[in-house]
Structure 1
Amino acid sequence: MTKKQIYHSDCKHFLGHIPCKPHKKYGVHCDNCQFYDKKTGKILIIKLGAIGDVIRTTPLLHKLWEVHRDKEIWWVTEYPNILPSAIDKILKLDHKSILQLQNTEFDVVINLDKDYEACALTKSIVAKNKVGFTLEKGKPAPIDQRAEPKFMTGLFDDINKKNTKSYPQEIFEICGWKFEKQEYLIDVEDHYWSIDNGKKKIIGLNTGCGDRWTSRLIPDSTWIELIKAIQKKGYYPLLLGGSQEHHKNEYLADVTKATYLGHFSLEKFISLINKCDLVVSVVTMASHLAIGLKKPIVLINNIFNSNEFELYGRGQIVEPVKKCQCYFSPKCTNEDYSCIEHVTAEAIFKAIKRNLKA
């Protein structure tokens, strides 16, 4: 009589449509498998974008693994490559993943996005409990009272300006937890780079801010003055950026002789930032990567509430000497002056010296 084959669909490694990794690697079957890791349910995080916000949502994983260690953690996002591989299931937002999510029952769905598509997805998924934001009468809405403060800061600038909580603190409170300085989580491959810096401290200078938020764009003249001060001190300036900053960084490298290695894939960019001893950046993906890699950071902020940024005691926020008049505006609307032009190279350099490890 043929022995009946069994399988454990509640195992962390079980996929269903293809063999699991332990079977492919060791040839094991589900009966008496030493790799059997039973999971009693599923938790879904919905955090689609932007990429910096996805990065600074990863501290939640520490608490989820602590409180729900017997549950699978799923995450749907527009940026799957930035998430740590320790997450059980990472899904890119597309029609295939939406179909799968809408036909899977979850214990908890945590939606931390107020965008229409994220809220609509939350509304459409079957779950025993939902946290964060959903869709009501066709509009984004807080699910419960814990999500209301974060919801209100997104509606009214005056309320946002009065906020004293960091983003990680806000999202922990939405989930009913206390933020205890849990760190960002980022995977890093550290074999890509060998930088000939002559043992000088590497100061990473992330010069851009993308096309949308030009109100944060630091003038070339400020970068040039800063680079010269860095070089005079005996540090090693390393220009950082993506394809949008390529020509700017080529120009700055030509004028100052600072090192510019080019723009790279996300994996290589993370690895390059990891080579820095300190990073200077406006609020952008690179700043969140630096924080996640536990690098000292000089964060240049003009249009946001500085309380929202958690630096974990490893950096300093530098702001304009003239107050920003266009709060949360992608483009400067002040006809009298652009506040980003009043972030001085001297102030940035003082912050570098103050926060650079000996």
Structure 2
Amino acid sequence: MSVLIIKLGATGDVVRTTPLLRRLNGSVTWVTAAKNCALLDGLADNLRHFPWETRARALDVPYDLAINLEDTLDVAHFLKSVRPAEIFGAYADSSNRLRYTDNSKHWFDLSLISSYGRQEADRLKLLNRQTYQELIFEGLGLRFAGDPYLFPNSIETRLSGDIAIAADAGHVWPMKKWAYYGELKEALEEAGLRVNILPERRSLLEHLADVRNHRCLIGGDSLPMHFALGTRTPCVTLFTCTSPWEIYDYGMQEKIVSPLLEEFFYKRGYDERATTAISVDQVFDAVTAQLESAAPPAARQEVTV
């Protein structure tokens, strides 16, 4: 069986799609954003990958199945040139409108291209209690059984400590940025812990190492969170405006859900109340509990290839 996966970004979504690789038989081709290629290098003997800019290189073989997890017309147009025997996910119909296959509806019903419209999609997303992996696996006729993320070897860095804080939220979801990271850092350092704010890195593989080199990660629903889950690094994750239920915790995550989550659910604007609804004390206590049960970085069993 020959399979094409199209998942360009965000990088965290690419990471949480990698568990599929161990469950797909035959050869797999993955088209992704160029920056994500480093995270796919050598993940499986049957995998090859191409950046979106050179996607035409993926047209050299016929595909039995194309898994399109993007919701844009440009990707759907590319899929038409692929002509797979079967599609899972989004495609363009004869009127050039985005549709999605029936077997992918449990995921795409919650998406920006939901057949129910954006408002109802967000309501369904709020009610959903299945993880991303469960929704995708089940649509493909598979059963998700806690299959781990796959990572290549990281590029070692000298940054290490007890706590890593992932304070950045990006411009798309400004309300993910909790207001009290500074105060929390001071409180943790007063308790004798070594705390680092994660820096920007030239390579995602350096960023991966930074997370792995700590006993616990604190942050929002973000790429560092996925790096923590995949490296079996205990983490405390603050959910202020996105779904905590879509994230499979792999037994490593303490989720702190904002009491105002429903009010700001999947809102992309900014309201200070969303960033201040979770207290410093609540996060401090959760971090302390995670540290008490954390194995040192060198003792963790992560899946690398």
TM-score range, shorter chain: 0.7 to 0.9
Counterpart of 1:76 (choices 18, 31, 53) is 31
1:108 equivalent to 2:65? Answer yes
Q: Classify 1:59/1:204 alpha carbon distance in 2 versus 1 (closer, same or farther; 3 Å).
A: same
5+ unaligned residues in a row in structure 1: which ranges? 1-40, 243-262
Q: Classify 1:323/1:134 alpha carbon distance in 2 versus 1 (closer, same or farther; 3 Å).
A: closer
Q: Classify 1:167/1:48 alpha carbon distance in 2 versus 1 (closer, same or farther; 3 Å).
A: same
Q: Classify 1:194/1:50 alpha carbon distance in 2 versus 1 (closer, same or farther; 3 Å).
A: closer
Q: Hey, what does 1:234 align to over in structure 2?
A: 192
Tell me if the contact between 2:163 and 2:218 (Cα under 8 Å) persists in the aligned partners.
yes
Task: Give me the TM-score of the superposition, normalised by structure 1.
Answer: 0.73
Tell me if the contact between 1:204 and 1:240 (Cα under 8 Å) persists in the aligned partners.
yes
Measured in 1, the distance between the counterparts of 2:279 and 2:164 equals: 17
Measured in 2, the distance between the counterparts of 1:168 and 1:227 equals: 33
Measured in 2, the distance between the counterparts of 1:146 and 1:270 equals: 33
Report how far residue 117 of structure 1 moved: 2.4
1:341 equivalent to 2:276? Answer yes
Measured in 2, the distance between the counterparts of 1:214 and 1:224 equals: 17
% identity of equivalent residues = 22
Measured in 2, the distance between the counterparts of 1:135 and 1:194 equals: 46
Report how far residue 100 of structure 1 moved: 2.5
Q: More relative contact order in 1 or in 2 (CA 8 Å, sep 6+)? A: 2
Tell me if the contact between 1:56 and 1:168 (Cα under 8 Å) persists in the aligned partners.
yes
Counterpart of 2:243 (choices 305, 321, 329) is 305
Once the two structures are superposed, the pairs formed by residues 161-176 of structure 1 within 5 Å of their partners are: 161-176=126-141
Tell me if the contact between 1:193 and 1:271 (Cα under 8 Å) persists in the aligned partners.
no
- Deviating above 6 A after TM superposition, structure 1's stretches of 4 or more consecutive aligned residues are none
1:43 equivalent to 2:8? Answer no
CA RMSD in angstroms comes to: 1.9
Counterpart of 1:63 (choices 23, 36, 53) is 23
Deviates more, 1:340-349 or 1:186-195: 186-195
Counterpart of 1:287 (choices 214, 225, 248) is 225
Tell me if the contact between 1:76 and 1:91 (Cα under 8 Å) persists in the aligned partners.
yes
- Counterpart of 2:85 in 1: which secondary structure? strand
Report how far residue 235 of structure 1 moved: 1.8
Measured in 1, the distance between the counterparts of 2:177 and 2:213 equals: 24
Q: Hey, what does 1:271 align to over in structure 2?
A: 209
Measured in 2, the distance between the counterparts of 1:287 and 1:84 equals: 21
Tell me if the contact between 1:141 and 1:151 (Cα under 8 Å) persists in the aligned partners.
no
Q: Looking at CA atoms only, which structure, 1 or 2, has the larger radius of gyration?
A: 1
Q: Hey, what does 2:12 align to over in structure 1?
A: 52
Q: Deviations over 1:260-282 (max 9, x none)?
A: xxx44222111111101110111
5+ unaligned residues in a row in structure 2: which ranges? 115-120, 295-305
Task: Give me the TM-score of the superposition, normalised by structure 2.
Answer: 0.85
Counterpart of 1:152 (choices 109, 112, 115) is 109
Q: Deviations over 1:164-195 (max 9, x none)?
A: 11011111112111111101111133543264
Measured in 2, the distance between the counterparts of 1:52 and 1:194 equals: 22
Measured in 2, the distance between the counterparts of 1:180 and 1:123 equals: 33
Tell me if the contact between 2:43 and 2:150 (Cα under 8 Å) persists in the aligned partners.
no
Measured in 1, the distance between the counterparts of 2:203 and 2:40 equals: 15
Q: Hey, what does 2:99 align to over in structure 1?
A: 141
